[in-house]
Structure 1
């Protein structure tokens, strides 16, 4: 039972917290550990002894029913908890890097000196509102705000459910109230073949035939750039796969369905990521290993590309190595935004590159979005679309549905038809048969 102490003008209540004091050897004794409080909230004293006694009874009720939060645990500071939480997560290296960045930049600086158990809903709502105001001033993006609040919600949920640092989360999910604010989304246009042709042409002048093929591959397969594209190895490209697959069991299974003489297809087996500052091959996002049929024109393009180099990567950087961080500095900005004419170290002169207005400031990931739009326009089934995009269809529909060869053949046919229709509209520029990659850097 709790007991109340009255000292001068203050009232304090003590209760057993469910633990026992240990001896010098660390073994528990029969002496109980007690916790105490001078008020129901920090800075708010008890009004009388009855209130203090009932408060103690409530704490002991929590102890008996396994709901008690030890005060020493609830006082864990956020600047300690955040990093302990991150170390305990089983995540991919890229996810760890993103979480660490968000914790370091916004969450720990703001919440670091707060005790985990003392954070209130009022304080959380005020912080969230400050982030939304910063997004409205375009200091940060609305997407970034969503990622920060989502991460904070995970921290608080785990503090309640897994680590018993507080009794409930201050992040309360509820139906929308108050003034409606429409979320600001990235402006997108339907992906047009003319825009893709401009991008592919620019990519050719920056990156050679590899760049030309790179743009069309994203648009006509929906592969995730950059990881899945940079991680595509020669043995998983349509001219060689599945005969070159290193897995004997998968190779034998796939040879009856795919191949250059049956239905050309490539295999999304890896994505390229940085782990601890080093390049690594890991499974694709959500472990979405998948086989993607390719239309005949793209298969021929890949065959020509592989014949032009001996790199293990289908899309090597200039010089033959694996593409990496140089993409965002020396490649994509010039492909979408243009670049002045320049002379290379050799006798080769790169022409002036015109910007693509529809893509200036945009992400190359939008080409993947455009592929999904094409599949919908062509009337493919949901299971065919989601499987191709590397998504799982939940529920009974996903359990009973399956991507069949007929579905795949129809996808390849509609994509080939789209390609042929575009080239039949007029005389478009196309690069000559590829030669070996130049060795110089694409820097301007």
Structure 2
């Protein structure tokens, strides 16, 4: 039977303090001196009633020992990181978010003392200082961390609000989708810019991304023997079984994202293009390589030096400090802000516009349908061949000249001629 007992005199509050005693699941006596908000008990009755509530939780098997919640978040993070099973890049991102944002704020605080109010204030500040995407990712990591703390009975609830929970404050409408989607003709123009800058491989990489929907990391991990470019009746295919990533500073092949290794039927024009690429790089084991034949890398320099000029254009340059002169690249109109992953999104939009069955579209994208639809829907060869046929039609349409609108923007002026 729970009870309360006097503990000592609180000089600051000028009151007696009490603690509650209650039976633990193992039959021993536990004690509690503060409520859920961290306030001490100043009456025997309040201490006894709180302790009685804990005994009720013990009988209902929902008991969370307040002592366990005294573990500093830093210690819980060390335990938690040993339990998560994610890919190398996700593991790296989790650790960076914890190190840079979560632990500096919360590391010294006990897991059970982190309050929803404190988290809300911190989240508001985080969103003022950083981009929405980055803040969302940090909050998501913190939410998962605290959800696992609840599962481990370190506390009774998750102080990090879920994305679907009701939120107080000013109404904010759902932001519009601002992702840039390219048409097949715009993809062709971007690829031609890549051809002018770095040759056939860059051209083929842009086209292959847009017409397969594969991620850059998946294309980088495709070996030559994973290409079936001769159509024997079931279509030419490209098999994406892995993805290339840096793991501990080394270029490594790991399983495809979400274990979504798959073989895709590709349209005839893409099979012919890949034959040309393979003939040009006959000594390489990889289907896609860097411009000079090495492993395909896509880091920050590539975005700055290659991707952005392919989309936004590049000014011509003469010989500078021994560097060779280079021609200018005209920007592609209508795709400002397009990212490489936007080509994958564009592929999905094309498939949706053409009205292909959802199961075939999602399987091609490497996604799994959930629920009853995922159990009873199946992709057939006829569906795949129809996708390849309609992609071939989109390609042929993209080759036709456009005479009723401008395709390119003005050539960027050299830096020395740009007005300030």
Shift of 1:93: 0.4
Residue in structure 1 matching 2:73, options 63, 78, 83: 78
- Say yes or no: does 1:401 pair with 2:366: no
Contact 2:242 2:254 in 1 (8 A): yes
* 1:318-337 alignment runs, 5 A limit: 318-324=291-297, 325=299, 326-337=301-312
Look up the match of 1:164. 153
Contact 1:267 1:291 in 2 (8 A): yes
Equivalent position SS for 1:293: strand
Supply the distance in 1 between the matched residues of 2:112 and 2:391 (Cα, whole angstroms): 56
Supply the distance in 2 between the matched residues of 1:175 and 1:40 (Cα, whole angstroms): 25
Supply the distance in 1 between the matched residues of 2:311 and 2:145 (Cα, whole angstroms): 39
TM-score relative to the length of structure 1: 0.80
Aligned length: 391
Single out whichever of 60-69 and 364-373 deviates more from structure 2. 60-69
TM-score relative to the length of structure 2: 0.84
Contact 2:20 2:50 in 1 (8 A): no
- Say yes or no: does 1:129 pair with 2:124: yes
Q: Deviations along 1:109-150, whole A, 9 cap, x unmatched?
A: 222222110111211222222233x1xxxx422222222222
- Say yes or no: does 1:379 pair with 2:355: yes
Supply the distance in 1 between the matched residues of 2:232 and 2:95 (Cα, whole angstroms): 45
Look up the match of 1:5. 6
Which consecutive unaligned segments of at least 5 residues does structure 1 have? 21-29, 241-258, 428-444
Give the 3 Å change call, closer, same or farther, for CA 343–87 of structure 1 in structure 2. farther
- Say yes or no: does 1:40 pair with 2:41: no
Give the 3 Å change call, closer, same or farther, for CA 421–150 of structure 1 in structure 2. same
Look up the match of 2:210. 219
Give the 3 Å change call, closer, same or farther, for CA 43–298 of structure 1 in structure 2. closer
Supply the distance in 2 between the matched residues of 1:43 and 1:260 (Cα, whole angstroms): 72
Single out whichever of 292-301 and 52-61 deviates more from structure 2. 52-61
Q: Deviations along 1:168-216, whole A, 9 cap, x unmatched?
A: 1123442455532124455234422332122111211222100111111
Shift of 1:329: 4.3
* 1:4-403 alignment runs, 5 A limit: 4-8=5-9, 9-15=15-21, 18=24, 32=28, 34-37=30-33, 39-40=34-35, 44-132=39-127, 134=128, 139-161=129-151, 163-173=152-162, 174-175=165-166, 178-185=169-176, 187-224=178-215, 226-239=216-229, 259=231, 262-309=234-281, 310-324=283-297, 325=299, 326-339=301-314, 340-341=316-317, 350-403=326-379
Give the 3 Å change call, closer, same or farther, for CA 342–214 of structure 1 in structure 2. farther
Single out whichever of 87-96 and 97-106 deviates more from structure 2. 97-106
Q: Deviations along 1:294-314, whole A, 9 cap, x unmatched?
A: 111110000010010121111
Equivalent position SS for 1:403: coil
Give the 3 Å change call, closer, same or farther, for CA 111–357 of structure 1 in structure 2. farther
Contact 2:240 2:261 in 1 (8 A): yes
Look up the match of 1:435. none
Give the 3 Å change call, closer, same or farther, for CA 346–206 of structure 1 in structure 2. farther
